[in-house]
Amino acid sequence: MGEVNNKGRGEFELIGWIKEQVESCSRMPSGIGDDCAIDQLPSDQQLLTSNDLLIEDIHFNRAWTSMFDLGRKSVAVNLSDIAAMGGKPRSLYLGLGRSQQLEETELKDFIRGFLYEARQHDVVLAGGDTCGSPGPLMISVTVQGLVPTGKAVMRQGSGCGDALYVSGTLGDSALALHLLRAGQMPPVPLAQRFHTPSARIDLGRLVGEQELATAMLDVSDGLLADLNHLLVASGVGAELILSALPLSEAFRSALGQNPSLIDLALAGGEDYELLFSSARHDLEQMALPAPGVVKVGHIRAGTGINIRQDNGDIYHCRQRGFDHFAAS
């Protein structure tokens, strides 16, 4: 399995400590400590599985983020993928490549944050692996969830005339990162969105169960980049209304001083809001789980994305969404 950690705690001791922190779960006959987890699945459900990899100095900076919050975020960004399919998260599997600079207390804080966020959504840590790493801290999380058979919402399915909706607000996390890189402390509302994002699980499940969406995904790489994924999958184009973008008070305050920051709402990334198309144009008036949705445009024939200003002109965003393989 794993190697003995350079700080002196062997893998089996670490697994034992983590197991002590994890509450027993009746739906998992076998979990941490065995070679595999065993999960008893309902016959009328389909299994959803997703994985995310977080690497220090690419996806996070430990100088800016506490290990507890990093643990929480590692869970939330994975649960967001389940929400985007209309599912309910069920179990998590954690892989850690532990850098030599990681202290024992920091590792424990990370695990505590990880388990805290998991408990908020009734999700169990069912297994994983760990080993020492000569490089940066690497975090691999696999999440599994359930969705009623035939109810999963895919990226493909948008049709011409469909409305485009997004949940919550956009750009808060990206603006917090922008300020941190400039050596400034972001306001608390922005910092919270950056350090501890929220997966929109209840909203995603309702959208899926009531078949409100023709296609859906979560906004992780930026609104424009992720909308493009949806459009390419469906073979259509889109019109966005710039003034319709949902923005928080903290973001609007900064925008008043620097209008170019609107590009962060369009392409900043790490919003973890739900973006979906729908044949219905009245969802803003529906009683939906928090934080609700805002209509930001519509699907059209053709390809690409037009961002319309109030005067009808097309706005040209100067940024692009996050590219995992772009040169840093």
Q: Does a structural domain hold residue 154?
A: no
pLDDT, position 325: 39
DSSP category for residue 30: B
243 annotated binding-site participant: no
129 annotated binding-site participant: yes
Could you tell me if 127 and 171 lie in one domain?
no
172 annotated binding-site participant: no
Kind and range of the H or E run holding 32: none
277 annotated binding-site participant: no
226 annotated binding-site participant: no
Could you tell me if 105 and 168 lie in one domain?
no
Q: Does a structural domain hold residue 16?
A: yes
pLDDT, position 245: 99
pLDDT, position 52: 95
Question: What's the rounded Cα separation, in Å, for the pair 35 and 31?
Answer: 8
How many angstroms separate the Cα of 86 from the Cα of each of 33, 120, 154, 211, 261?
A: 31, 18, 9, 9, 31
155 annotated binding-site participant: yes
Total residue count of the chain as it appears in this document: 328
Could you tell me if 225 and 271 lie in one domain?
yes
At 241, is the secondary structure helix, strand, or coil? Answer: strand
pLDDT, position 324: 43
221 annotated binding-site participant: yes
Q: What is the CATH number of the domain that holds 117?
A: 3.30.1330.10
Tokens of 135: 């490089």
Q: What is the CATH number of the domain that holds 260?
A: 3.90.650.10
Contact 114, 72 (CB under 8 A): yes
Could you tell me if 45 and 168 lie in one domain?
no
Q: Does a structural domain hold residue 153?
A: no
325 annotated binding-site participant: no
Domain that holds residue 209: 163-308
Could you tell me if 95 and 178 lie in one domain?
no
Task: Return averaged pLDDT per consecutive 10 residues of the chain, 328 residues in all.
Answer: 44 75 66 79 95 94 96 98 98 90 88 96 91 89 97 98 99 98 97 98 98 98 97 98 98 97 97 99 95 98 97 91 45
Contact 298, 163 (CB under 8 A): yes
Question: What's the rounded Cα separation, in Å, for the pair 153 and 136?
Answer: 35
pLDDT, position 1: 37
pTM (two decimals)? 0.91
Could you tell me if 167 and 302 lie in one domain?
yes
pLDDT, position 327: 37
User: How many domains, in total, are found in the chain?
Assistant: 2
Could you tell me if 136 and 177 lie in one domain?
no
Question: What's the rounded Cα separation, in Å, for the pair 45 and 12?
Answer: 34
Could you tell me if 199 and 102 lie in one domain?
no
271 annotated binding-site participant: no
pLDDT, position 151: 95
220 annotated binding-site participant: yes
128 annotated binding-site participant: yes
